[in-house]
Structure 1
Amino acid sequence: MSTIGALGAEAPATPDADEARRAATKELSREIYQDHPDLWDRFWQWILDLLDTQSLVPGVPPWVSTAIVVTISAAVIALLILLTTRLTSARRVRTAPLSVFTDDRDAATLTRAADEAAERADFATAVVERFRAIIRSLDEHGVIDEYPGMTALEAAALTHQSLGEHPVVAPLYEAAHLFDAVLYGRVVSTRTQDQQMRELAEQVAQVTVPVDRQDALVGAPVTLPGAPA
């Protein structure tokens, strides 16, 4: 037999697909391929190492180590809550009060918008639009002089200056605070609040400036108390 024929006889036959798959499976099952944890395993082990209180404070009993870790964690959480609260309060303080009006609709148009919103149970819009209608009505009847950028509390303060201790003043301050709270999203308006605003609108519709106070209003400065004195 020739040399080439001998080499050909000794060469292994090419494995078919099933044999190749079995060989690959057998190779991958070797222990050398099982010694390397995947990314999730390494991450989980890192978490467990962090929670191992004995390794965090070596040389002390486990319960002492645990107590130290719990105390520090509680202090950090409390500090984060305090900082978050102060930052939130600071942002609220820095936020400029919102203007009452964003357009020139008259009181009747604003009232219709409030009624339509209430019919579809959109009480946030109803409360906001009806308060605007109330303030616009006070302007139209000469009780106050509306100006660009006027806030809800400024409108209430002007009404207080104009009407003195009129029964409508105190609920108007409350309505002004509600108006701001709704616009800032701090409260969810309800049907009850809509009804309160309707009642206030009815009271305001009957208001006129007392004759004995008309002269005193000329040149009177605007003050912004949180509520009428």
Structure 2
Amino acid sequence: MSLTGGVLNVVPVLWHSGDEPPVTISRDPAREAARRELSKRMYHENDPGLLQRALNAFWDWVERLFNAASTATPGGALGLVVIVLAVLAVLGALWWRLGTPRHTTTTSATLFDDRPRSAAEHRAAAEAHAAQGHWSQAAQERMRAIVRSLEERALLDVRPGRTADEAASEAGRTLPDHADRLRAAARDFDDVTYGGRAAGEGTYRRLATLDEDLEHTRPEFAGSVPAMAPDAGQGAAG
């Protein structure tokens, strides 16, 4: 052991038996000998594994991140928790309102498939879906029933490839009192079919009510002249 420049240096000494002088080892070889000794397996049998070390490092990082965020957030850790909960609540509300997002390549497509069916068949399919609580499928079939019924009554021409928006626009000109409801029904159909939104019972009931109302509605054709009421003064004079 020696004191040089105010720094205490330890020089390993190997003692021999008898009267032989001790053997000294310089610092670097001593450090290497210690490193080799400590690298033996017997000293590391209880060390954590690679996965455990990675998890420990991850949680240490999360703790440091949380501590840094809590110091920058009004209210400290409690304020940070409130903000996180508020964000999660907003995300949950959006997920519930909009449903599972789906990738779509078109915003509007045709109403019917290749197999033509009557309005009565579409209504029966809609009621069957509604009875099982499958409101999205029920709403789709009810919109198809509405358009097919208008075609059967010659209020719409039978045209393959027609979209719900086109059908609502054309029918609205013949049935102006129901034009707004027809456009809303077309939006509901597109939202369910191509927008990935789930319909509820209320959506289906609105479509069913519209279908029933249209069945009892007389069309107004362009150029039709309403009946004129007799002139009261002329009738009295006569």
* TM-score band w.r.t. shorter chain: 0.5 to 0.7
In the TM superposition, 1:160-171 aligns within 5 A as 160-163=172-175, 166-171=176-181
- Structure number with higher strand proportion: 2
TM-score (norm 2): 0.54
Contact 2:123 2:145 in 1 (8 A): yes
Please tell me the root mean square deviation across aligned C-alpha atoms, in Å. 3.7
State the partner residue of 1:199: 209
Q: Please give the alpha-carbon distance, in whole angstroms, between the structure 2 residues aligned to 1:172 and 1:140.
A: 17
Question: 1:208 Cα shift?
Answer: 4.1
State the partner residue of 2:161: 149
Counterpart residue identity of residue 149, structure 2: S
Give CA deviations for 1:74-114 in whole Å, capped at 9, x if unaligned.
xxxx9xx9xxxxxx99x56x533132111310111111111
State the partner residue of 1:46: 57
Measured at CA, do residues 95 and 167 of structure 1 come closer, stay the same or move farther in structure 2, by a change above 3 Å? same
State the partner residue of 1:9: none
Q: Please give the alpha-carbon distance, in whole angstroms, between the structure 2 residues aligned to 1:107 and 1:52.
A: 63
Question: 1:137 Cα shift?
Answer: 0.8
Q: Please give the alpha-carbon distance, in whole angstroms, between the structure 1 residues aligned to 2:47 and 2:131.
A: 66
**Larger Rg belongs to:** 2
SS of alignment partner, residue 198 of structure 1: helix
Contact 2:139 2:199 in 1 (8 A): no
Which portions of structure 1, spanning 4 or more consecutive aligned residues, are displaced by more than 4 angstroms? 51-54
State the partner residue of 2:106: 95
State the partner residue of 2:182: 172
Measured at CA, do residues 44 and 116 of structure 1 come closer, stay the same or move farther in structure 2, by a change above 3 Å? closer
In the TM superposition, 1:22-171 aligns within 5 A as 31-34=42-45, 36-48=47-59, 50-51=61-62, 67=72, 94-102=105-113, 103-163=115-175, 166-171=176-181
Gaps of 5+ in 1: 1-29, 55-61, 68-77, 82-87, 215-229
**Larger RCO (alpha carbons 8 Å, 6+ apart):** 1
Gaps of 5+ in 2: 1-40, 73-86, 92-99, 225-238
Give the count of matched residue pairs.
159
TM-score (norm 1): 0.56
Q: Please give the alpha-carbon distance, in whole angstroms, between the structure 1 residues aligned to 2:44 and 2:112.
A: 72
- Structure number with higher helix proportion: 1
